[in-house]
Amino acid sequence: MQLVRQKDQMMAKGAHRSRRTLGAALAVAALASTATACAGSAEPERGAPAPAAGQKAQGAAGALDAYIEKVRAQRAARVLAAKKWGLAKPPLDAPAPPAVKPKITTRKGFETDGEDMPPVFTTVPTKQKVVFLTIDDGAEKDPRLITMMKELRIPYSAFLSDYVVKDDYGYFKKMQTSQESGISLHNHTLNHRYLPGLSYSGQKREICGMQDVIEKQFGKRPPLFRPPYGNYNEDTLRAAKSCGVKAVPLWAAEAFPDHMEWREWDRDLHPGDIVLTHFRGKEDWKGTMPDMIRRVMNVITSKGYAVAKLEDYV
């Protein structure tokens, strides 16, 4: 009888230890799952044998440790880059983009009479404290801009005009692949003409012609288009739609090396605002491209915003 009791006690202790081991494994696996969701992960190869519970726990813990170390290293590098480039504070990390992109509609007052046109907007609908940085035309080709944005890990979208980029497509090819997530290149027409002053066919040549150039030079037909000066009419949107444009982002604020300009009455940033600037140098404004980035990032960071990738939301 005594032997039976001892055996029962030993079995109970073994079960208790098993539950604690399983609980620890599940806890680590849950943490690793969260880290993987933030960092992005590949699906396991189909048909591969499933690892044992202990191996899962060890693998999950290792993945979590590697992810944490990667984040720490990136943040440390960003701090050093901010000091190198003269920023008041390191840029804030953007939150994970939404699993489902928000529905974009034309801003009130920006509509045309046409139906089912690409939406025209200045702000992306989101509650996240993020803004989007966009750079127009391509006249200034400062290699320091590419280096600065890579080291600071700031995403941005370039809207290119062929008449100023065709002398050095290579600069923008380098820009396109300069960051891990890729820099997107979009349409700003062939010759930066005032589009409402052109016929429908003239507008179509300007817009669709630039679609062709970007596809040929950079490998992808862009889904986004910005009309020069922000001016457009119904023909503009019809022409853009005809050659694959999905949306027309304008801007809520504009950045210069020495000041900011604002569309909204409160002269402030708002969640989802699109910030415009240009490829310019000292010949055109009071500073360089790095001067402008320093200025705009000091404003964005001081207001508690991070810069996110526009294409993750639109």
In the three-class reduction of DSSP (H, G, I as helix; E, B as strand; rest coil), residue 230 is classed as: helix
The pLDDT value recorded for residue 55 is 64
Contacts of 61 (CB under 8 A, 6+ apart): 28, 32
Average confidence (pLDDT) per 10 residues, the chain, 314 residues? 41 42 37 38 45 67 80 89 97 96 97 96 98 98 98 98 98 97 97 98 98 98 98 98 98 97 98 98 95 98 98 98
**Structure confidence by residue, pLDDT tens digits, 45-59:** 444 556 666 666 677
**Structure confidence by residue, pLDDT tens digits, 110-146:** 999 999 999 999 999 999 999 999 999 999 999 999 9
pTM of the predicted structure, to 2 decimals: 0.80
Percentage of the residues of the chain whose pLDDT score is greater than 90: 76
Measure the CA dihedral 310/230/104/179, to 10°.
-10
